[in-house]
Structure 1
Amino acid sequence: MISKSSNSLPVRDGADRDRRTPTWPSDTGRTMPASLVYDQIPIGTRLRFRDDIPEPPPDRQGDHAVWRLYNGTGRLARKDPPPHCSPIGQPASITIRTAEFGEHSAVGFTLALGNTSTGVVRFEVLELPPVGSVRILARDGDNAELLHLAEDEHAAIAWLARHPIPSAIFDPVSADEIAAASVEGRWVR
């Protein structure tokens, strides 16, 4: 049985959005650094990311392509902790996927949290994963990467039938997880 979340996040008005899907309005300016995305935001959350550098003119294609790397929207697909027993110090990282897995343009990028250039990229939560949805994850040791966020278990089974991935597992989104993310996110201004 799936219970509805009783979190305090507003829900977008209008269209056919499921009322169980909490969102932050995109025009509030509530931004956070990558380190807080790593600590508090659940995998499957839609995020806007930006570095506050003005968009170059479209005729400067190379500059525009670089600008799009640090300005856009995507889903939080992975959180990697720093390695435990590595002689080389490596920071924790997050991976953002800017298109759905299985599409021809499923591009993603990884930000290392200790990198100084990562500090200029700010994130804004657009939409937490809906309660009752199912994350389809690919396992890589202790870490998991989001392949797809399905509406429910039936949709997850259908997606996995179209994209057979041997290491895939299902991870249902719980009301407790979303409530915790909304409570922890109240500090965001």
Structure 2
Amino acid sequence: MSAQLIYDLAPLGSLVRFSDGTPRPPERHRKKLAAWEHRNSGGRLIRKQPKRRIGNTVIGASFTLHSGDYGGGGVVVLRVHRTFPVDSDLAFVVTERPKLGTVRVLDRPGEDAELVYLAGSRADAETWLQSHGYPNAVLDEVTADAVAADVAEGRTAA
């Protein structure tokens, strides 16, 4: 599916893979493999940003995937996010949608909110929120009604 469809249909918290369609090079070609992995990977959908205007510049709609965290001993020192414009030439696929009953912890209210944690339950989300500093956080539970509305309106992305 296209990047525009991911932006339009995939809910925050979905696992998304992307690819340029080229075959994976052999392990011995390290530079080619690193370049291939840059255009063929995946992550969790954490943010959707609508088209916006800053001065005379128009920035198109985009979405962001959380690709991974790096660190050690329980300390994250590097968080990797990848942002894609809706007109990206890559092919995308939703491999997993958030399960019923999970709770999305968003950093702020509104359509520009970013997913900071996907909890298994409301109690888990509240416990996580107490130990992390997000004063404007919003809890958004994935309900059967939301999933049914996506299916009924033809918005399913997986």
After TM superposition, the score normalised by the length of structure 1 is 0.69
User: What letter corresponds to residue 44 of structure 1 in structure 2?
Assistant: G
Q: Would you tell me which structure has more strand in proportion to its own residues? A: 2
In the aligned structure 2, how far is the partner of 1:111 from the partner of 1:46? 15
**Partner residue in 1 for 2:85:** 112
Gapped runs of 5+ residues in structure 2?
none
Q: CA deviation at 1:92?
A: 0.4
Please point out which of 14, 19, 22 is paired with 1:45: 14
The superposition leaves residues 38-80 of structure 1 with CA deviations (integer Å, 9 ceiling, x where unpaired) of: 1111111112211111222333333322322221231111110
Structure 1 segments, 4+ long, off by >6 Å, are: none
Aligned mates of 2:29, 2:103 — CA distance in 1 = 40
Pair 1:53–1:130, CA change in 2 (3 A) = same
Distance 1:52 1:158 in 2: 42
Q: Could you tell me which of 140, 143, 152 is aligned with 1:171?
A: 140
- The percent identity for this pair of structures is 35
**Runs of at least 5 residues in structure 1 that lack an aligned partner in the other structure:** 1-31
Give 1:21's aligned residue: none
Which 10-residue stretch deviates more, 159-168 or 70-79? 159-168
RMSD: 2.6
Task: Confirm whether residue 151 of structure 1 aligns to residue 124 of structure 2.
Answer: no
- Check whether the contact 2:10–2:156 (CA below 8 A) recurs between aligned residues: no
The amino acid across from 2:149 in the alignment is: A
| Cα deviation, residue 155, structure 1 | 0.8
**Residues 55 and 95 (structure 1), Cα distance of their counterparts in 2 relative to 1, 3 Å cut:** same
Residue 149 of structure 2: SS of its match in structure 1? helix
| CA gap 1:34/1:147 in 2 versus in 1, 3 angstroms | same
| SS of corresponding position for 1:78 | strand
Q: Deviations over 1:74-112 (max 9, x none)?
A: 111111000156421221001011236974553110001
The total of aligned residue pairs comes to 153
Assess if the C-alpha contact under 8 Å between 1:95 and 1:111 holds in 2: yes
In 2, the alpha carbon distance for the partners of 1:174 and 1:100 equals 28
**Cα distance in 2, alignment partners of residues 140 and 66 from structure 1:** 37
Q: Report the counterpart of residue 45 of structure 2 in structure 1.
A: 76
* Structure 1 residue 161: Cα displacement: 2.7
Kindly tell me: are residues 158 and 130 of structure 1, through their superposed partners in 2, closer, same or farther at Cα, counting changes over 3 Å?
same
